[in-house]
Structure 1
């Protein structure tokens, strides 16, 4: 029986089996991943079946192997599989449907587990990019070279803004193709040509959060009817789709919680992005006051917490063009997307000394990995885990500046920027507030 084994020094998988009384080891370039193991196990099972039938042709399975010559002439068998070191070809590979024929089946089989907006995106990607280039090719005949050429051609195309497609966009186009080929390779028993093709490297995310002083300048300048919306965004870190989909039934004033249960994506109301995104966000006093203020601004029969004048949820494009960008220009701040309010909340929570696990749960992250990767320079300590430090920080910033919040070198009457406060100064500030 052919077995899949691991070579520790290379972390590559290989096949170990006996044929005609001789032990054979055939190396592959496949790394030890669950997907690669499944692929190779499928291949090993084919070897087992061919051996059981007495039709196993060593050279047909391993045409590049030096050992194949030892078994030449043992039998006259028709090539039946794809070699571990080469891709399928018309004279060696199994008979498979074209990518276009299989794409419809694959799409329908996955439709029940996708959100509708994601399904629409996948369908658009298939019809706009993938099927025109690869739709007529049999699945087993698509080679690594075909995939690399397809990706290179994507890099020459222009996007909506007239510039070249970004590495992130190209990766998003390649993802459904990778998933489709992975399923096809298991179903039709050939090695996926995607192996060892890594996604394009993305530039490091450079966030542009506002400082606490800039946040309060913005809140003090924005039109009064937009104040509650911005305050909630700045001090909860909710995603745009989450806050725009917020209904009054999701506001628990008794427990001081905001219940994130749904999101608006491309104008459609859907479930949250992931299971981890379904969460309860604790309300700091500033957010509670903002929501109470918002209650007075909307009609009693409006289901949405933040709504336009016609009663519909906030429209992102309208808010961005008519409120957000004019506000930044008025304050003399660098232009940035409204999504930076989420990064602002994250950096303020971390800078206040909150435990990253609490911050991750509040933001709806599955773990703290992204926090340390994106916000690491904003983590002064890991001492707190209850939200009180964040509450103290944002509350203190709305009060007159005290001597505890100044550095020794700062001029009298000048507030110390958050970025230069030390851990001890932050803790002293919070302790002082808690005694008031």
Structure 2
């Protein structure tokens, strides 16, 4: 009796039937789901009907099967012959249905991407969603929009990567960095991975590797430079930069800081929200939800800031009308001009965070404590990014080994 079974090794469905006295089993790539079983049952029914009618062509249903050549020499029995045998009460050997080739259809890339963005928009941060939409609308839809998901091949993905990585490959005819190319490909990979899982086709991005991006080196300030900067910066931003240099808060975390998250009694800053031009939102991740210790300079700076602005806004650092300050404005009008005034090298605004980490490490604070203050879930990032700025924690000059040799061998090495 013809039936549909599942191959345990792969979890995929196959047809199991008898045809002209031989047992035939034909494998498919379809997973064992109710939907796929219904599809195959319909095909199986059609095959059985053709077998009974004597019109079944094995090669037509299973063109790549070895069985197709086996039955090729014997032509299908005509309907009249079958009718004659039935009329003469001749038992016709039960026909076996081979695995049917089911034509695959999936949503187009543009259709599925709209669903993907809507579903993930419920859990993503605003900045993450915005960045994904820029990459989708600027790069992915123009290239893949009209294609059905399963029609996108690995060769298509590699060709796309080569095109956007080429000189002038951006939507503004500029050359994209390897980091940006990888970010675009990451979005493409996420869309195709989800589509492959839902519609059960091979993921064409599965083994597509990331471009090698040059390592970005940090450039923190020394303690002397921090002191000079704080002394020279505009007075109304002195407290702001003391908090940035000595807490390691991210830009969005500083600008999203509210008075309800300042615990003067316990001397803690509760990092709970961030702020950007898109508004308030959750922190970068769960690990970023943390309590940051106030050192004495930070405590005094926040006390002074409370006197200056607590009556204006719920935000610690705000404009004269009580709105959160704009990081781009601070970068352009305060940060860069002060660096230039002092003759210091130009640095990214984010270096204030790196400065806090290196100062903590250089002072000998425990790496586990520093990682917690920074919002890292482990110390791996500290040793990976900041180790060269920690001479008294990892000297890297051989002195520790030299002391061990002198202690154990007394310097008498023959």
TM range (shorter): 0.7 to 0.9
| Maintained 8 Å contact 2:259/2:310 | no
Question: CA 1:341–1:73 in 2, change beyond 3 Å: closer, same or farther?
Answer: farther
Matched ranges for 1:266-285 at <5 A = 266-285=277-296
Q: What corresponds to 1:136 in structure 2?
A: 146
2:110 equivalent to 1:100? yes
Aligned residues: 347
CA displacement at 1:61 relative to structure 2: 10
Q: Secondary structure at the match of 1:264?
A: strand
Shift of 1:349: 1.2
Alpha carbons of structure 1 residues 73 and 290: separation in structure 2 relative to 1, 3 Å: farther
Matched, 1:3 2:9: yes
**Matching residue within 341, 344, 356 for 1:330:** 341
Offset at residue 244 of structure 1 (A): 0.7
Question: Highest CA radius of gyration, 1 or 2?
Answer: 2
For structure 2, list consecutive stretches of 5 or more residues without a partner in the other structure: 1-6, 18-26, 45-57, 72-96, 401-414
Per the TM alignment, residue 376 of structure 1 is displaced from its structure 2 partner at its CA by 2.2
Q: What is the aligned partner in structure 2 of residue 262 from structure 1?
A: 273
Match of 1:36 in 2: none
TM-fit CA distance, 1:71: 8.3
Paired position in structure 2 for 1:370: 381
Distance 1:241 1:73, change over 3 A: farther
What is the CA deviation profile of residues 205-258 of structure 1, one whole-angstrom value per residue up to 9, with x for unaligned ones? 210100111111111111221111111100000000100111111110100000
**Structure-1 residue corresponding to 2:246:** 235
Secondary structure at the counterpart of residue 275 of structure 2: strand
Q: CA–CA distance in 2 between the matches of 1:302 and 1:139?
A: 50
In structure 2, the partner of 1:397 is none
Could you tell me which residue of structure 2 aligns to residue 203 of structure 1?
214
Task: Measure, in 2, the Cα distance between the counterparts of 1:164 and 1:151.
Answer: 13
Counterparts of residues 311-326 of structure 1 (less than 5 Å)? 311-326=322-337
Q: CA RMSD in A?
A: 3.8
Cα deviations by residue, 1:182-221 (Å, 9 ceiling, x for unpaired):
1111111101100110222221121010011111111111
Cα distance in 2, alignment partners of residues 365 and 319 from structure 1: 26
Q: 1:323 to 1:49 in 2, by over 3 A?
A: same
The answer to whether residue 128 in structure 2 is matched with residue 118 in structure 1 is yes
> After superposition, what is the alpha-carbon deviation per residue over 1:87-110, rounded to whole angstroms, capped at 9, x for unaligned?
xxxxxx622121112122222222
Q: In the TM superposition, what is the alpha-carbon distance from 1:341 to its structure 2 partner?
A: 0.3
Residue 79 of structure 1 is matched in structure 2 by 101
What is the CA distance between 1:78 and its match in structure 2?
Answer: 3.5
Deviations 1:137-159 (A, max 9, x none): 11111001111111222223465
Match of 2:209, SS state, is: coil
Q: Give the alignment of 1:293-308 within 5 angstroms.
A: 293-298=304-309, 300-308=311-319
Unaligned runs of 5+ in 1: 6-14, 21-25, 27-41, 81-92, 384-417, 424-436
1:351 aligns with 2:373: no
